[in-house]
């Protein structure tokens, strides 16, 4: 006889997986963020001596924003530098990829943290472009041993300096201002 081939759902060295799963359309996760009061950590007696030297954001309102492909903690009124943002100096720009927002509740006066999944809906940061500049010289040196190959060149990164004007926790149900988003897959016309 014939030997039956093992199916893809059988265990292979302790792991199991299905061969092919039908494509399932997940529900769209809009308005998916959580807001909660800040928990007080227990007192750590070992760190009392070091606590005076450790910078803390305990009593600050801030946001964690994603721009230039990186996550940055920004504070209202501060200045930052990042990779080049294509806008003229003096322009107002809105950063809407807010991942986390810590702010004081106006009713109770307590701090609350809104954690996005992945973004906090309705939250944005308004910035003012101050100037465009170049970074310090960075020397790049390449060589290959025993091949008589060496190259040295100097590069400068284009940077943009900007100021955080305000951090806003808008209404999640507010209409989006600007160009309408591309229709979802369920709203696309049928291809009959």
In this structure, is residue 77 part of a structural domain? yes
**Between 137 and 39, residue with greater pLDDT:** 137
In this structure, is residue 135 part of a structural domain? yes
pTM: 0.62
pLDDT band of residue 38 (cuts 50, 70, 90) is confident
Q: How many domains is the chain built from?
A: 1
In this structure, is residue 192 part of a structural domain? no
In this structure, is residue 129 part of a structural domain? yes
In this structure, is residue 184 part of a structural domain? no
Cα separation of 18 and 91, whole Å?
53
Under 8 Å between Cβ of 120 and 33: yes
Tell me the mean pLDDT in the region 116-145: 94
Residue closest to 63 by CA, chosen among 122, 150, 131: 122
Domain containing residue 109: 58-170
Is residue 46 over pLDDT 80?
A: no
Average pLDDT, the chain: 80
Neighbours of 159 (CB within 10 A): 15
Phi-psi region of 69 (alpha: psi -120 to 50; beta: other; left: phi over 0): left
Is residue 10 over pLDDT 50?
A: no
Is residue 148 over pLDDT 80?
A: yes
Give me the pLDDT at residue 170, please: 80
Give me the pLDDT at residue 160, please: 95
């Amino acid at each position: 006889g014939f030997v039956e081939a093992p199916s893809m759902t059988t265990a292979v060295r302790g792991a199991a997986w299905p061969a092919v799963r039908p494509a399932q359309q997940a529900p769209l996760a809009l308005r998916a963020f959580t807001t909660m009061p800040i928990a007080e950590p227990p007192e750590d007696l070992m760190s009392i001596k070091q606590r005076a030297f450790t910078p803390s954001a305990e009593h600050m309102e801030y946001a964690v924003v994603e721009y230039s492909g990186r996550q940055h903690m920004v504070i209202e009124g501060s200045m930052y530098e990042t990779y080049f943002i294509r806008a003229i100096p003096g322009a107002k720009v809105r950063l809407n990829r807010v991942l986390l927002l810590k702010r004081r509740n106006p009713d109770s006066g307590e701090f609350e943290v809104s954690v996005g999944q992945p973004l906090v809906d309705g939250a944005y940061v308004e910035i003012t472009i101050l100037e465009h500049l170049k970074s310090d010289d960075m020397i790049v040196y390449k060589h290959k041993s025993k091949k008589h190959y060496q190259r040295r060149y100097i590069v400068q990164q284009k940077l943009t300096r900007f100021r955080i004007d305000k951090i806003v926790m808008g209404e999640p149900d507010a209409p989006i201002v600007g160009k309408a988003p591309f229709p979802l897959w369920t709203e696309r016309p049928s291809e009959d």
